[in-house]
Amino acid sequence: MAVTIKSPREIELMRESCRLLSGVFDHMAEHLHAGMSTYEIDRIGEKMIREAGCVPNFKNYNGFPASICVSVNDEVVHGIPNKHRIVQEGDVVSLDAGLIYKGYHSDMARTFGVGEVTPEAEKLMAVTKQAFFEGIKYARAGNHLHDISNAIDAYVTSFGFSAVRDLVGHGIGTRLHEDPQIPNFAQKRRGIVLKPGMTLAIEPMISAGGWEVTWLEDDWTVVTLDGSLAAHYENTILVTDGEPEILTLGKY
Ligand code: MG
């Protein structure tokens, strides 16, 4: 599938889809606390998505049973919300979700420390977030896609952390996952040339240890193989003639 270039009308719909999703994340962040189940987080997020007249795009995606992916500590992504999984003080909780507004998808992720977390966890979360910003410095028309990948990888490895390789960012639009794939680790090939009107979900998934991951028996939850903490930070962005526009930037 070719990489899609969005028209001005489509960009407006993407902006609104992403703006609504940012509000959902702000709301979930304000409600996240020790003692609640990961299922409750999913309920809070899905309710707000539906109240906005939107559809949670993760729900039933390839059979995923929930609207919000909630991944705790060594879980990297795709954690399934569960009534019996209670968030604890000191946990590192990644939330990943998206919605569909008038046919247009948005996708974002944030990682939060619950109460007081270890200094290593704080550092991992900060580096993962900054890795996104290091990457999008290169998300400009005329640059190559893998300039983004290389910048993310160089930044995280300078802290002794690792970018997960089995999962990547992606184009986004009328489908949740469009071309191109956007690796978070260094690439030998340069990748496609970026053009104005491309909308991309850039999402560093970073381990405090090694990059290797495995899947739990639920066939969804991705965990670090060495049990290290992981963090995830994602925005949907628009490539323009100048500075990239971050479409999902909320309060966090
Ligand atoms: Mg994504």
CA of 245 to the centre of ligand 1 (A): 17
| 85 pLDDT higher than 80 | yes
Tell me phi and psi for residue 40, to 5 degrees: -60, -35
Could you tell me the distance, in angstroms and rounded to a whole number, from the CA of residue 177 to the centre of ligand 1? Answer: 7
pLDDT of residue 2: 83
**pLDDT digit string (tens) for 110-126?**
999 999 999 999 999 99
Strand runs (DSSP E) across 38-119, as ranges? 55-56, 68-72, 75-77, 92-101, 104-113
**CB contact at 8 A, 45 and 93:** no
Q: Is the dihedral of CA 124, 127, 130, 134 positive or negative?
A: negative
* φ and ψ at residue 213, rounded to 5 degrees: -130, 165
Q: Which residues contact 60 (CB under 8 A, 6 or more apart)?
A: none
pLDDT of residue 138: 98
Q: How many CB atoms are located within 10 Å of the residue 238 CB?
A: 20
Compute the distance from residue 89 Cα to the ligand 1 centre, in Å. Answer: 27
pLDDT category, 1, cuts 50, 70, 90? low
CA of 206 to the centre of ligand 1 (A): 14
Mean pLDDT of 226-238: 98
Radius of gyration of the chain (CA): 17
Ligand 1 mean position, distance from CA 67 (Å)? 13
Stretch 225-242: mean pLDDT, rounded?
97
Distance 236 CA to ligand 1 centre (A): 8
Q: What is the pLDDT of residues 4-56, one digit of tens each?
A: 999 999 999 999 999 999 999 999 999 999 999 999 999 999 999 999 999 99
Q: Cα dist. 221→30, 64, 215 in Å? A: 24, 10, 6
The residue assigned the tokens 């707000």 is 48
Three-state DSSP class for 31? helix
Q: Which CATH number fits domain 8-246: 3.90.230.10, 1.20.1270.10, 3.60.15.10, 3.30.750.24?
A: 3.90.230.10
Joined tokens for residue 202: 């850039």
Ligand 1 centroid–CA 234 distance in Å is: 7
For ligand 1, the distance from its centroid to the CA atom of residue 204, given in whole angstroms, is 10
State how far the Cα of 222 lies from the Cα of 213, in Å rounded to an integer: 6
Q: What residues contact residue 9 under an 8 Å CB cut-off, 6+ apart?
A: none
- Alpha-carbon span 131 to 155, nearest angstrom: 6
